[in-house]
Amino acid sequence: MNSYHTLKEEAWLANMEIPKHHLAIYTWGNVSACDRQAGVFAIKPSGVPYDQLKPEHIVVVDFEGQIVEGTLRPSSDTPTHMVLYRNFEHVGGITHTHSPYAVAWAQAGRSIPVFGTTHADHSHLAVPCTEMLDKQAVQGDYEEETGTLIVKTFSTISYEDQQMVLVAGHGPFTWGKDAMKSTYNAVVLEEIAKMAFITTQLNPGVQSLPDYLTEKHYMRKHGPNAYYGQR
Amino acid sequence: MNSYHTLKEEAWLANMEIPKHHLAIYTWGNVSACDRQAGVFAIKPSGVPYDQLKPEHIVVVDFEGQIVEGTLRPSSDTPTHMVLYRNFEHVGGITHTHSPYAVAWAQAGRSIPVFGTTHADHSHLAVPCTEMLDKQAVQGDYEEETGTLIVKTFSTISYEDQQMVLVAGHGPFTWGKDAMKSTYNAVVLEEIAKMAFITTQLNPGVQSLPDYLTEKHYMRKHGPNAYYGQR
Amino acid sequence: MNSYHTLKEEAWLANMEIPKHHLAIYTWGNVSACDRQAGVFAIKPSGVPYDQLKPEHIVVVDFEGQIVEGTLRPSSDTPTHMVLYRNFEHVGGITHTHSPYAVAWAQAGRSIPVFGTTHADHSHLAVPCTEMLDKQAVQGDYEEETGTLIVKTFSTISYEDQQMVLVAGHGPFTWGKDAMKSTYNAVVLEEIAKMAFITTQLNPGVQSLPDYLTEKHYMRKHGPNAYYGQR
Amino acid sequence: MNSYHTLKEEAWLANMEIPKHHLAIYTWGNVSACDRQAGVFAIKPSGVPYDQLKPEHIVVVDFEGQIVEGTLRPSSDTPTHMVLYRNFEHVGGITHTHSPYAVAWAQAGRSIPVFGTTHADHSHLAVPCTEMLDKQAVQGDYEEETGTLIVKTFSTISYEDQQMVLVAGHGPFTWGKDAMKSTYNAVVLEEIAKMAFITTQLNPGVQSLPDYLTEKHYMRKHGPNAYYGQR
């Protein structure tokens, strides 16, 4: 019997976006899909290469991190996903990758400013880079503390207005209303990170877009008067 | 009945060049094809991914922006195309992408100088970067104002000698005698933008080509004495 | 009769990872697989393109560099592999590539610091860059001296804690418990080298990760309490 | 009747290496193959895209630039090839591309120093960048003058020791004993140019390899005592 067939399919399909869009190699990265009514999320098993990953490998975990269904160990990053689901209540999917440009900004400890409309189409805010986790947090429950650090970073930022974060010295986490939206955001983040890198090399003193332009582009795609896409 | 079958096919085929040449991901970018005798142009619908795009999805619009044929919403950038068709009277196709190197130059607010013959083969002029749209324009009819800004930028530049532009903080628009030529120009622009980026990193004080060499290369491919290609 | 069928298959399969992961073009690079009980290793023949390489082309060599099986010349880098197998007694496979980012760090004469957890997942140490080989060594038995230089570089570094090295002015060598692990390390090194390059351009003053974070990540995947992957 | 069937096949096959190795897009670039006994060379026709190019499109030209066989116009760069064949008497094939890293060095007006053994495996000399063609030369027989400029650049360099050149503000030309070797050199040049670019960004003060190491690597593959590859 397989109680979470659909959820596991959704998680599997979203995980397969990672190799498709070259966001990570080998076993790196992981995506989860959440079923809030059931109080569980489905996540990639730890250390399984994408070219061997099948829907039945996906592990279902509850919000305490207990395995509900599945025979494999879940991703070692599972507690980070758990904390985000607990705190960001409208999030239905989370993606973590090691895509190179986003990782480089995270390693450089720099937030990605809104340099252009490609970024503003997706968020009117910089992609924040967290502080570096302190020693106590790392030596405690490290992956859970990573989630807590992200939540703290968003204490003054709406997690719905900005669905991307860079964990300092580590790499990107993205989320969305469902798993596919979170991987979409991971692909967009890598593209934005690449563009922003080249931009800073071409113009080290480059400024962020003026607010009026950032807001305009963001509102084309979001909010009550959005007019991008089909009705 | 389908009055604009050929025009929509042309627009569709040119739009498919965008993913083929990796000029944009997902739904980003758009190409239009113009039929001046009919007073209409055919353009990509808003928010439709390229791998789902079919010729029958293409929307036909007149020069006032009114939909003439099609059930989907046209690209949100349609008014920009409209203004360009109105003002650049020999243009038969327009392409807008978010290709990363061209976007980076636009975000850096820098025109691309003629650093080499690859550029000069296509234009003897720098690829101009517009000014940043002001607040009033952005809060007015934004996409139409983007077109007006491009036209203003070309008040002292021939739109036939230079068929590429960078909209500051946004990205590239290119045009040509037909839709395919406009996507060709978009691919060339990205290649030129990449080469020019590496060039500036290798030699920050690099100068433009001497005029006599720029003119020579441009005239090999353009004008009455062109001798590139087949008769 | 073919005494080393399995070993040659293993070496061949690992060599084919080089073109698959774009680590080198044409005939460049080479992988060997070691059978310590038999006292031999199997290595790519010199100058054979990957798209023509077959398992029966692989050459089996002993630890004195004598050909034991095979009709082709072994890789010109064979003596480097030989010295590493002699000195690093738990190594079962070695990979040498000319992957561009790793080569660039080697040409720049710079070790790659631990800038992030992608690196720390694989080693808690910088990827060391050797000194430049001196004139006497180069004019002596050059390839053997390259191996000796690597061994000397690891006189104060555990070859099990750090399985990657950059030979100054040349490029990367990686190793592991078997041939496939050594090519895995070669792919990881190129990814880390790319990320580290972008990182230094974004933040020239960037510091290495704090030790407590490096150790944590390394220990997630290595040592008695590792919890990454499946049991 | 088709007198130059084999030569045209050889030229066609070598031209198809350009799109295969991503050395140029659309119609850019051209390769020729020379038959010295017949006193002719076979070259790509001007302006024909690679995906439409067939062996029967190849044009055969003599050393005065006269068409001997073929119905299409030869490449506009034909006179450059002609001058090189006239002056470099052991050259059997020539390749011209617009590969981005090599073009960027040419646009930057910089020769590529021997930064590592990847370069030294192919030449013990820097890849020279010519001077900029002067006005008189450009306004004269431009393509022939480009060949003359290359020959002048090699007045103190052996064209057999160094088979690659960067024409300032333009891009790379490479040659070799046959057409395939010249495209091989074009691929190698692009790889070296990329590595050298990253190297200069990582270490702006980087020095060339010491001569003893450059010579050693070059002599592994070239000269009477070469020991790379199969006998």
Place of tokens 């619009």: B61
DSSP annotation of A99: -
pLDDT computed for residue A2 by the predictor:
64
Asked if residue A61 has pLDDT above 90, the reply is yes
Asked if residue A1 has pLDDT above 60, the reply is no
CB contacts of B26 in chain A (<8 Å) are: 184, 187
Could you give the CA distance from residue D4 to residue D40 in angstroms, rounded to a whole number? 10
- Which listed residue (A121, A141, A142, A178) is catalytic? A121
- Which listed residue (D121, D141, D142, D178) is catalytic? D121
| Average pLDDT estimate for B12-16 | 98
pLDDT computed for residue D224 by the predictor:
87
pLDDT computed for residue A8 by the predictor:
98
Residues of D with CB under 8 A from a CB of C: 115-118, 184, 187-188, 191, 194-196, 198-199, 201-203, 206, 209-210, 212-213, 216, 220, 227-231
Closest Cα in chain B to D26: B184
Do B39 and B27 contact (CB within 8 A), yes or no?
A: no
Q: What is the pLDDT of residues C124-162, one digit of tens each?
A: 999 999 999 999 999 999 999 999 999 999 999 999 999
**Rg from Cα positions in chain D:** 17
pLDDT computed for residue B230 by the predictor:
87
The dihedral over CA atoms of D142, D146, D151, D156, expressed in degrees to the nearest 10, equals: 120
pLDDT computed for residue B76 by the predictor:
96
| DSSP codes of every residue in C118-153 | HHHTT-SS-BPBPPPPPHHHHHSSHHHHHHHHHHHH
pLDDT computed for residue D58 by the predictor:
98
> Closest approach of chain B CAs to the CA of A143, in angstroms?
32
| DSSP codes of every residue in D81-150 | HHHHHHHSTT--EEEE---HHHHHHHHHT--B---SHHHHTT-SS-BPBPPPPPHHHHHSSHHHHHHHHH
Q: What is the pLDDT of residues B119-145, one digit of tens each?
A: 999 999 999 999 999 999 999 999 999
Could you give the CA distance from residue C221 to residue C226 in angstroms, rounded to a whole number? 5
CB contacts of B202 in chain D (<8 Å) are: 104-105, 108, 110, 197, 200
Q: Quote ipTM for the complex.
A: 0.96
pLDDT computed for residue B2 by the predictor:
63
Cα D222-D228-D231 angle, rounded to 5 deg:
95
Could you give the CA distance from residue D119 to residue D114 in angstroms, rounded to a whole number? 6
- Count each helix (H run) and each strand (E run) in chain B, helices first: 9, 7
- Cβ within 8 Å, pair D116-C48: no
Give the strand order in the sheet containing A93-96. A67-69, A59-62, A40-43, A30-35, A93-96, A171-176, A164-167
pLDDT computed for residue D2 by the predictor:
64
Residue A3's pLDDT band, with cuts at 50, 70 and 90, is: confident
| Average pLDDT estimate for B69-85 | 97
Residues of chain D with pLDDT under 70: 1-2, 231
Residue C136 tokens read as 């006497």
- Cβ within 8 Å, pair C198-A46: no
Do A190 and B26 contact (CB within 8 A), yes or no?
A: no
Closest among D126, D109, D102, D127 to D23, alpha carbons compared:
D102
pLDDT computed for residue B3 by the predictor:
85
**Rg from Cα positions in chain B:** 17
State the amino acid at position C142 in one-letter form: Y
Could you give the CA distance from residue B41 to residue B7 in angstroms, rounded to a whole number? 8
List the single residue in A116, A195, A216 with the smallest CB-CB distance to B138.
A216
Give the phi and the psi of residue A71 in degrees, each rounded to 5: -105, -10
Task: Tell me whether residue D95 is exposed, middle or buried, using C-beta atoms within 10 angstroms of its C-beta: 0 to 12, 13 to 18, 19 or more.
Answer: buried
- Cβ within 8 Å, pair B212-D76: no
| Average pLDDT estimate for B16-21 | 97
Strands (E), A73-147: 93-96
User: Quick count: other Cβ atoms within 10 Å of Cβ B39?
Assistant: 12
User: Quick count: other Cβ atoms within 10 Å of Cβ B51?
Assistant: 8
Which 3 state secondary structure label does DSSP give C32?
A: strand
What residues pair up with C3 in beta bridges, in sequence order? none
List the single residue in A117, A194, A201 with the smallest CB-CB distance to B169.
A117
B141 is catalytic: no
pLDDT computed for residue C224 by the predictor:
87
CB contacts of C100 in chain D (<8 Å) are: 191, 194-195, 198
pLDDT computed for residue D171 by the predictor:
98
Could you give the CA distance from residue C200 to residue C116 in angstroms, rounded to a whole number? 12
Closest Cα in chain C to A135: C212
Could you give the CA distance from residue B198 to residue D107 in angstroms, rounded to a whole number? 9
pLDDT computed for residue D155 by the predictor:
98
Could you give the CA distance from residue B215 to residue B223 in angstroms, rounded to a whole number? 11
| Average pLDDT estimate for B99-119 | 98
Strands (E), chain B: 30-35, 40-43, 59-62, 67-69, 93-96, 164-167, 171-176
CB contacts of C202 in chain A (<8 Å) are: 104-105, 108, 110, 197, 200
Which 3 state secondary structure label does DSSP give B153?
A: helix
Residues of C with CB under 8 A from a CB of D: 25-28, 45-48, 72-73, 76, 98, 100-101, 103-110, 132-133, 135, 138-139, 142, 169-171, 197, 200-201
Closest among D15, D7, D142 to D61, alpha carbons compared:
D7
A161 is catalytic: no
Residues of chain C with pLDDT under 50: 1
| H or E, element range at C69 | strand C67-69
Do D17 and D187 contact (CB within 8 A), yes or no?
A: yes
| Average pLDDT estimate for A81-104 | 98
> Closest approach of chain B CAs to the CA of D124, in angstroms?
22
Q: What is the pLDDT of residues B29-75, one digit of tens each?
A: 999 999 999 999 999 999 999 999 999 999 999 999 999 999 999 99
- Which listed residue (C26, C51, C121, C227) is catalytic? C121
Could you give the CA distance from residue A193 to residue A111 in angstroms, rounded to a whole number? 10
Do C144 and C78 contact (CB within 8 A), yes or no?
A: no
Do A42 and A62 contact (CB within 8 A), yes or no?
A: no
Residue B60 tokens read as 């036909």
